[in-house]
Amino acid sequence: MQAWDLRQPIYQQLADLLASRLLDGEPPEGEPLPSVRALAGQFMLNPLTVNRALQALGDEGIVETRRGLGIYVRAGAREQLRQRLRTRFLQDEWPRLRDRLQRLGVTERDLPWGEGR
């Protein structure tokens, strides 16, 4: 069962989780996502919350609604998503991580993939 962080809206957490799965290729581009009802049951959420998460992905151009067919992953969505998340990481997360590593005195040699390993 999914543990939700109460500091962030659940719909956004679900959108982020679905985006992570899309990055991993699930479902493939051009294929449908599970229905709102199926996702609501899977994550034990209100269908309105699921709808809002899917709307957020739609607003980002990651998925599209095909009337009468469902919600599909758009062509090129994976690369678009990867670039957006990469930019966000480099601008927002990396500077904080780099500063923390410096404060803690962590060097490349300390990391599992560093030169000394």
Predicted confidence (pLDDT) at residue 1 exceeds the cutoff of 80: no
Tokens read off for 74: 């758009």
pLDDT of amino acid 115: 58
Predicted confidence (pLDDT) at residue 116 exceeds the cutoff of 70: no
Q: Which CATH architecture has domain 10-77?
A: Orthogonal Bundle (1.10)
C-alpha to C-alpha distance for 54 and 76, rounded to whole angstroms: 17
Q: What is the pLDDT of residues 52-76, one digit of tens each?
A: 999 999 999 999 999 999 999 999 9
Tokens read off for 64: 């599209």
Q: Any idea what DSSP says for residue 89?
A: I
Tokens read off for 48: 């309105």
Average pLDDT (82-108) is 95
Domain boundaries, the chain: 10-77, 78-110
Please state whether beta strands 63-66 and 70-73 pair in parallel, antiparallel, or not at all (unpaired). Answer: antiparallel
Q: What is the Rg, in whole angstroms, of the alpha carbon atoms belonging to the chain?
A: 18
Tokens read off for 63: 């998925």
Q: What is the pLDDT of residues 12-33, one digit of tens each?
A: 999 999 999 999 999 999 999 9
